[in-house]
């Protein structure tokens, strides 16, 4: 329909493999020290966290990355939005979901129609899942949140220009709300602030396009790292529920928190990290 799901998901899987290979063994003790010094506990992912606000209050854009077909980053996105709202901030919330038709259902308050439509899209790559539906419905008519479904189909936008188009869709809304904080949920390639494999990303375009309102230092780009659990996605062999072994190492042992967020350049592709001790497969909407 709009992308080949195996290529899209395998790109994310390759990124996880990079994470596991990147840290040298001799740096492990330093890694533990880094986590202990910087990790902010997230007691509950979906609610406001005062300690989190202390480290995001100066940021104008928070780009949350996920492995499609998992729940935890979506729940954390809600927590980030709630944290900002608790401090009287206005939020532009962007989801890497296909708009147009879905926008019409949201505007008309047609939850059942939106659910039925997103069921057809969920089978592509794990996006448009039940957690995404819950998040979109919660904020679609919130007075202090503007929801933006910023992706489009291949018929609407050529695949080669997809990341630029997604960034332009967000910037068009932000020009009307210059004081809002941007929070996005997307695959953890699109949210990187630098080109990936010599290909410009949405995150890169958000601070390099003409009249872009952000400087890189005003932006957080986070990836999701996790312990054992499940995920549902298409790795070229169809949508399947998959078991995830625990390869989290010191990210799990350094602190006792079930979830934490930290600003760090421990991985060069992002400048922050969400860690959850478990990962859970997203459900059909």
Model pLDDT, residue 174: 97
Model pLDDT, residue 235: 78
For residue 22, which of 185, 264, 216, 261 has the smallest C-alpha distance? 264
Model pLDDT, residue 241: 96
Model pLDDT, residue 122: 93
For residue 146, which of 98, 88, 91, 206 has the smallest C-alpha distance? 91
**Tally of residues, the chain:** 285
What whole-number distance in Å separates Cα of residue 186 and Cα of residue 68? 8
Model pLDDT, residue 17: 54
Model pLDDT, residue 154: 72
Model pLDDT, residue 117: 97
Region for residue 16 given its phi and psi (left: phi exceeds 0; alpha: psi -120 to 50; beta: otherwise): alpha
- Bridge partner residues of 262 (DSSP): 273
Model pLDDT, residue 180: 98
- 81 three-state secondary structure: helix
What whole-number distance in Å separates Cα of residue 24 and Cα of residue 46? 34
What whole-number distance in Å separates Cα of residue 50 and Cα of residue 192? 26
Mean pLDDT by 10 residues, the chain (285 residues): 46 54 60 96 97 97 97 98 98 96 96 96 93 98 98 82 96 97 97 95 97 96 97 88 95 96 92 98 96
Q: Are 69 and 281 in contact (CB under 8 A)?
A: yes
What whole-number distance in Å separates Cα of residue 118 and Cα of residue 95? 13
What whole-number distance in Å separates Cα of residue 84 and Cα of residue 256? 26
Q: Which domains does the chain have, with CATH numbers?
A: 5-13+39-279 (3.40.50)
- Bridge partner residues of 182 (DSSP): 61, 92
Model pLDDT, residue 195: 96
Q: Report angle CA 134, 206, 216 to the nearest 5 degrees.
A: 110
Instruction: Tell me the three-class secondary structure of 152-191, residue by residue.
Output: CCCCCCCHHHHHHHHHHHHHHHHCCCCCCEEEEEEECCCC
């Amino acid at each position: 329909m709009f992308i080949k799901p195996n290529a899209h998901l395998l790109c994310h899987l390759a990124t996880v493999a990079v994470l596991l290979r990147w840290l040298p063994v001799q740096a492990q003790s330093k890694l533990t020290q880094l986590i202990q010094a910087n990790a902010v506990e997230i007691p509950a992912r979906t609610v406001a966290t005062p300690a989190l606000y202390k480290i995001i209050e100066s940021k104008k854009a928070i780009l949350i990355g996920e492995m499609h077909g998992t729940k935890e980053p979506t729940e954390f996105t809600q927590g980030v939005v709630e944290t900002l709202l608790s401090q009287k901030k206005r939020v532009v919330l962007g989801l890497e979901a296909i708009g147009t038709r879905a926008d019409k259902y949201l505007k008309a308050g047609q939850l059942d129609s939106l659910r039925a439509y997103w069921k057809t899209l969920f089978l592509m790559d794990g996006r448009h899942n039940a957690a995404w539906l819950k998040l979109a419905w919660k904020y679609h008519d919130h007075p202090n949140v503007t929801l933006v479904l910023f992706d489009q189909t291949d018929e609407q936008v050529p695949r080669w220009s997809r990341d630029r188009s997604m960034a332009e869709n967000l910037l068009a809304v932000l020009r009307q709300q210059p004081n809002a904080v941007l929070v996005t949920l997307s695959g953890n390639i699109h949210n990187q602030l630098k080109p990936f494999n010599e290909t410009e990303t949405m995150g890169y375009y958000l601070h390099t396009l003409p009249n872009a309102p952000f400087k890189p230092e005003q932006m957080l780009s986070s990836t999701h790292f996790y312990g054992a659990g499940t995920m549902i996605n298409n790795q070229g062999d169809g949508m399947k529920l998959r078991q995830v072994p625990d390869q989290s190492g010191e990210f799990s042992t350094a602190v006792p928190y079930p979830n934490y967020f930290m600003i760090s350049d421990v991985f060069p592709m992002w400048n922050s990290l969400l860690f959850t001790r478990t990962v859970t497969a997203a459900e059909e909407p």
